[in-house]
Amino acid sequence: MTLANGRHYLAIPGPSVVPDRILNAMHRASPNIYEGALVEAMPELISGLKSVARTSFDVAMYFGNGHAGWEAAIANTLQAGDRVLIPTNGGFADRWADAVRAHGVHVDVLELDRSTAFDPDIIETVLRADTAHEIKAVMAVHVDTSTSVKNDFATLRAAMDAAGHPALLMADCIASLGCDPFEMDAWGVDVVITASQKGLMMPPGLAFVFLNQKARAAGRNITHRSQYWDWDRRIDPEIFAYYFGGTAPTHHLYGLREALRMIVDEEGIEAVWTRHETLARAVWAAVEHWGQDGPMALHVPNPAHRGHSVTSLGIGAPMGTALRDWTETNMGVTLGIGFGMAPLGDPKWHGYFRIGHMGHVNGHMVMGTLGVIEAGMEALSIPFAEGGLKAARQVLIR
């Protein structure tokens, strides 16, 4: 007997749950890519995307995952010999730095504490020291999905301004756009990168790069800009095909239209943010309660430094892996692996896991996941303080 049969729940930090409405919108015969509904849908898609990122500037779209979004931002603003600053408090910032380095760009990595948001004063100090203004960009992750730390871009922009430094500010919002509040224009962020399969509730396959005038101007200084990645060509396409540098991702665009209608027109982006925050608080309340009498602990102590789309946890090796295996095999809930917390191959790696709560997630999904985790701890004889679900439900009904 297994209790896993029934609808499976992938509670990992991306890809996230795809609503049936989006799947159904994609389930159709191949559309005409030269004229008609698909071509006419573009203004709605662009304006919906821009309202999720809170920008009045531009968006370029790419076939690809989040890594493609990174690549696009790099290809349009940097070239070999340039220098950038990347503060890191998680595995995704580390990987972004690797992607930048592969372009022959010199990366100053600022290794910061991995369980707190970074202190903008440190970045201000580094920028002040760069009197020749060699640093072309500060590239930072908003919510680092590995540690679930959330960094504050309003204060980061203030620090850059205080230093009087002209570098571009680029944000990886792949795990946070459509989950945590983010104000591209109001916070003065020049480039924002996201992808379809997290807060936007779509299957993987689309990357979006938002950019303002300053970033666009920087792009014009790149001597050899790859035609495929060139964002100007995609922002003002002469023909429909240039939006995507070739054939459009036809079915994904129908899915995207449905997703944006759900987020922007129906629920409203601010209500979406509040839903994510409330669900995240329920998860934190349960975990903090369980941990009063057991090994489970949140990775980020300060709630203000936690992202609302994913929670990174420790439970002691080998119990992280054991618990994930148990919930998947016995209950049909897949939890996220620990990432960036201990090296692969290190036994400690098995002490971490993550709960994804991004996108199409509601109260019963979070309560169900927490109930299943509690059942798993009991089944595996992991100690915990009784009452975690009560703590969670009190957050939800408040």
Ligand X SMILES: *Cc1c(COP(=O)(O)O)cnc(C)c1O
Q: Which chain residues interact with ligand X by CB under 6 A?
A: 14, 65-67, 92, 141, 144-145, 172, 174-175, 195, 204
Query: Smallest distance, Å, CB 194 to ligand X?
Result: 9
* Smallest gap from residue 223 Cβ to ligand X (A): 27
Residue 280: φ, ψ to 5°? -60, -45
* Burial (Cβ within 10 Å: 0-12, 13-18, ≥19) of residue 304: exposed
Give the shortest CB-259-to-ligand X separation in angstroms. Answer: 16
Measured from the CB atom, the residue of 58 and 172 that comes closer to ligand X is 172
Tokens of 398: 């408040």
**Closer CB to ligand X, 14 or 332, in the complex:** 14
Q: How far is the CB of 92 from ligand X (least distance, A)?
A: 4
What letter represents residue 158's amino acid?
A: A
In this complex, which beta carbon is closest to ligand X, that of residue 184 or of residue 319?
A: 184
Collapse the DSSP code of 101 into the 3-class scheme (helix H, G, I; strand E, B; otherwise coil) and give the result. Answer: helix
Q: Which is nearer to ligand X, 68 or 382 (CB)?
A: 68
**Least separation, in Å, of the C-beta of 66 and ligand X?**
2
Q: How far is the CB of 54 from ligand X (least distance, A)?
A: 18
Helices (H), strands (E): how many in the chain?
Answer: 14, 14
Are 83 and 52 spatial neighbours (Cβ–Cβ below 8 Å)? no
Q: Which of 371, 47, 65, 312 is nearest to 194 (CA)?
A: 65
Nearer to ligand X, 12 or 377 (CB): 12
Whether 72 and 62 have beta carbons less than 8 Å apart is answered as yes
CB 108, CB 130: distance < 8 Å: no
Least Cβ distance, residue 100 to ligand X (angstroms): 13
Residue with Cβ nearer ligand X (146 or 321): 146
Cβ proximity to ligand X: between 145 and 321 the closer is 145
- In contact, 196 and 52? CB cutoff 8 Å: no
96 half-sphere exposure, CB direction, 13 A CA radius: 34
List, in order, residues 6 or more apart from 328 with CB less than 8 Å away. Answer: 4, 334, 335
